[in-house]
Every structure is written in C-alpha cells, then in structure tokens.
Structure 1
Amino acid sequence: MSPQQSGQRGLPETLPDRLPIDVVDNHVHLDITREGDEPFDVAEAVRRAQAVGVTRLVQVGCDLEGIRFTMDAIERHTAVVGAIALHPNEVPRLAAAGRLEAAYAEVEACAAHDRIRAIGETGLDYFRTGPEGVPVQQDGFRWHIDLAKRVGKALQIHDRDAHADVLRILDEEGAPEHTVLHCFSGDLAMARECAERGYYLSFAGTVTFKNARSLRDALTAIPLDRVLVETDAPYLAPSPYRGATNASFLVPVTLRAMAAVLTVDVPTLCRAVSDNSERVYGPWDAERIGQSA
C-alpha cells in the first residue's frame, strides 16, 4: 500500500531517500487520527518508517485510551517502545470528573512495564487550559515527575506557552536523569538554559517552517549529544508537506533540514540522534531491528 493509498491527507506519493544511518522517531501518536483520516495500521506505519531508516519509534499515549493502545502496541511490535502519561490538558478534565486518582493509578501500573521507557507527555499547556485549570495541571506535572524518578524512566515534556513555569517546576522537583522537551518550541535563550541543565531537546517538523527562524536559532545552541528528532504525528508534517497528515517516514525530511542548520553532515546527525535516543530510552530489541514489525 502506497502512502497515497493510505487514507491520510497530503502524504507524498514516494518515500524520502533512506537515511544513511538508522534513527528513532522520538515521539509519535499512532493511536490518533486527524478528522477525515483512516486509522493507522501500526505494522504498516512501522514498515514504511523502516524503509527510510527510521527503524525505532516511541509511541506516546497521553490519555487512558491512548495508554491502553500503547500497551498493546509495545507487546505486538518490537520496533516500538512506549511513553505514557496524562496530557496536561487531560489532567484538569479528569479532576473535574472526579476520575483523576483512578487514572493516576492506571498510569502508575502501566509504567512498570519494561517496554514503557518514558513518562510523558506531561508538562504544562496554557494555550488550551485556562487559568482555572493551572493549579491542578501543575500538580499533575509534579506527580508525573515524581513517577518518572520512582520507576527510573525518562521524562517527556509538553510545553505550550508555559516555558518559565516548566523550567521552574523542574528545578523545584528535580528533573529525572533523562529529561526531554518534546517538540521544542522555545527560543535561543531557553535552549541555552535547557542545555545548561543537561536536558534533551526534540525537534519536529516545525523546525522546517519558513517562519521558524527562532526555532532554528535555538537548535544551534544544543550540543549534538542532546538533540533528538520526532514527528509528533499525525501533526506537524515538515515543509514542503506542511498541513498534511504526518508520519514517521517523513523524519528524514526534518533531519536533513536540521543537519543543514547545524552545518553537520547527515550521517553525523543520524549517529548522534540514534545514540542519544538509546541513551534516553535504552535499547530496542537489537536482534530484530529492521526485520518484520
């Protein structure tokens, strides 16, 4: 089945050129479809990604349904490991419904699984949650930070319009050893602060957008041993596919653009991203990488 036949909007008819060294899509939502799209077939999504050198994926479940999907995916597909949490916009909704404590208990139980490698995406989102939801959202962020440290997993952070509070709370709680700001959206100054703290920054297709010069400037402030790449699929497809449904097989487009910004060759960036990903999340099943999903 070609990308054009997949029922996903705007995907290219041909796959990008394969990367010279295999890499990881650090953040993908295989459980989420955009309105009007057909559901993803996980095995097919993995196969297409592997065809272009994206041999490993971190599937992110950020509500209870997505967490259950993630638990199934990591059991079925050796190329996939999981990250689970209650999204910062989900926490106030569950609290208002009186279901937050039960949801926390389910997250904590699932977090013990060996192939759950990160707690996330957690963090703060002041764009969709109004002021009335901020206190419980911040409490939820603190809870997830504590969980990541207790189970010895990485932390994946969602930060939208909340840069100062994200950094403050991480400082107050003490960040886990491996802390990732997914789909980094800060400026050069914030990138430098994150680099000083030893955080990993993950860049999505937004770094390729014409109006994202400040994001490209931020990328230049990050040491190669702290850089990751992601899709955040099905969202944020890179240029020239902006507005299309995103997929892991488009990682090479973003990564090549990042290499140009960093003035490094593509193999060098691929090796850094691969090494960084396994440092953060641990090894996938090495004997089966690149084989059948």
Structure 2
Amino acid sequence: MSSSATPHSTATGAAKARAAQTPPPPPAPLAHPVADSHTHLDMQEPSVADALAAAAAVNVTTVIQVGCDLERSRWAAETAAAWDPVWAAVALHPNEAPRLAAEGGRALLDEALDGIAELAALPQVLAVGETGLDYFRTGPEGVEAQHHSFRAHIEMAKRLDKALVIHDREAHADVLRILAEEGAPERTVFHCYSGDAEMARTCAEAGYFMSFAGNVTFKNAQPLRDALAVAPPELLLVETDAPFLTPAPYRGRPNAPYLIPLTLRAMAETKGMTEEALARHIAANTARAFDY
C-alpha cells in the first residue's frame, strides 16, 4: 500500500469498482413491446438465456445480434438460429478491415469479406453490418481498406436484399458520399446515430433509419437530442450497443437489452411523444428496417 493510501480509501475504491460492475436494476416494463436493434450478446456477462429473459420481462422482445468480425459474425448467425427472439447482422467492423489488410493485404481482407457474404445469405441473418467508416480509432493509413470494405458491404447488402447497418464515427461526410456513389440499399440503418440535426435531415430525406443508443441520455449529448428532435418518428430505432453506452443514470455500468426502456423514455421526452406512441413507431420501424 502506498504511503498516501489508507484502509478506508482503499475500501472505498474497491466498493466503487464493484458498483461499476454491478448491473443496473431493471426499469419498469414498456407499454408496448420493442426490439433492441443493435446489441452484442457475445460481449455481455449474462448467458444468452438470461439476457433474453431479462429483456422480455421489460417488453424488449426481439434483439438484433451484431457481429464485428468473421468469428463473431459466425457466432451471431448460430445464436440467431438457436433462439427465436434473436436475429443476426454480420460484417467486418470498420476497424477490422485495416487490421486484416495490414496482416495479409487485400487478399486476406477479400477472403474475410467472402466469408461474411456466405453468412449474410443465411435466412436468420437480416442485415449486413456493422460496416462503415471510423476515423476515430483508425488513422489515415487505414482509410483505403475501410473504404474498400464499406463499398463491398454495400454491394453485398443490395445483392442479398439485406438491411445495411452503418457504423459512422467522425466520418459523416465520407459515409454519406460513399452511400450516394454506390447507391444505398433500400433499408439503411445508422447505428448509434452520431450526427447533428442537419445530418438527421439529410438522412430523413434519403429514407435512412436512425437508431439512437444510451448516449442520447448523457448530459453532454444535446447535439444528439437536437438531431433526435428533427428526425421523423417513422425512421427512428432504439438500441443498446450493449455492453457499451449504458443510459443515464447508470453510465459506466454494464449495459444490456433490458435497459432499452430507459433510452426509449428519454427519446419520447425529447420528441414530446408518449412512451407508448414512440414504442409503437419503433416496433413497426424495426420490423420494416430488418424485414422480419
């Protein structure tokens, strides 16, 4: 123990650490069942059975399990085949493409893309994603691989008639440009929407779905709430991106599909809608976006 530490301060720190890992209590059930449009059950602590039971108890009755590389995408497809409430989305995450290209060049990246295409053709796989661009974690040296991968996923989604689920981090202009150049699939979803109100209007004009996550509840997220305010109810989805982005007041603790009601209720307040009205929109929108 350092000279500055005391038994009391050490115990307090340990208690805070335990609290940070404690799952939040379940919220009251929603007035109408909805789907978690984007989650990562493979990265969460509970078993799939426990996660789905906890979600169903608060009226979150469907989840879209999202793969981020070939192995996790295979797991997503297998889990969706095994569990009725689960559907799958498969892809190489934007940060996975440069890693593969650096490891084995374009040939290794294209081999992985071929594997994703095989999975995407399965009936329980409703979407190609999360794909897109991420300029936050990948620098200029990875841009070419990201662009190549994104364009390949767009083509794949259109060829297989699947939804396209987009990861867009600090790359708004290029994401929108590439979608326009390639021609967006009929059903395109901006996962964990991160643009401003002007971009929300652009997405609405194009008919893109906008999925909001727990970060819309954060105190510093007014630009997100401004975007939500102008987004049409007919194009809104809700997601956890669990185990990440746990909504307030539990930011920093483990996220899971059963916490969807916290985000949806905050969204309804921003939209000036009742919880049930927004939930009904979101339920219909998710089914339309993923065609289930």
TM-score, normalised to structure 1's length? Answer: 0.91
Structure 1 residues 242, 22: CA separation in 2 closer, same or farther (over 3 Å shift)?
same
Who is 1:214 aligned against? 223
Alignment of 1:200-211 (within 5 A): 200-211=209-220
Equivalent-residue separation in structure 2 for 1:234 and 1:8 (angstroms): 13
Q: Which amino acid aligns with 1:74?
A: A
Q: 1:240 aligns with which of 227, 242, 249?
A: 249
Who is 1:157 aligned against? 166
Who is 1:21 aligned against? 32
Who is 2:95 aligned against? 89
TM-score, normalised to structure 2's length? Answer: 0.91
Instruction: Report deviation, 1:282.
Output: 2.0
Equivalent-residue separation in structure 2 for 1:114 and 1:259 (angstroms): 33
Q: 1:70 aligns with which of 69, 72, 76?
A: 76
Instruction: Report deviation, 1:97.
Output: 1.7
Who is 2:275 aligned against? 266
Q: Which amino acid aligns with 1:97?
A: E
Quick check: which has more Rg, 1 or 2? Answer: 2
Count of residue pairs brought into register by the alignment: 271
4+ residue runs over 3 A deviation: none
Q: Which amino acid aligns with 1:32?
A: M
Equivalent-residue separation in structure 1 for 2:206 and 2:81 (angstroms): 34
Who is 2:208 aligned against? 199
- For structure 2, which runs of at least 5 residues remain unmatched after alignment? 1-18
In 1, are the aligned partners of 2:129 and 2:166 still within 8 Å (CA)? Answer: yes
- For structure 1, which runs of at least 5 residues remain unmatched after alignment? 1-6, 34-38, 284-293
In 1, are the aligned partners of 2:29 and 2:57 still within 8 Å (CA)? Answer: yes
Structure 1 residues 101, 8: CA separation in 2 closer, same or farther (over 3 Å shift)?
farther
Who is 1:9 aligned against? 21
**Matched residue of 1:97: which SS?**
helix
Who is 1:30 aligned against? 41
In 1, are the aligned partners of 2:20 and 2:252 still within 8 Å (CA)? Answer: no
Query: What fraction of aligned residue pairs are identical, expressed as a percent?
Result: 54
Who is 2:7 aligned against? none
Q: 1:53 aligns with which of 53, 59, 84?
A: 59
Who is 2:121 aligned against? 112
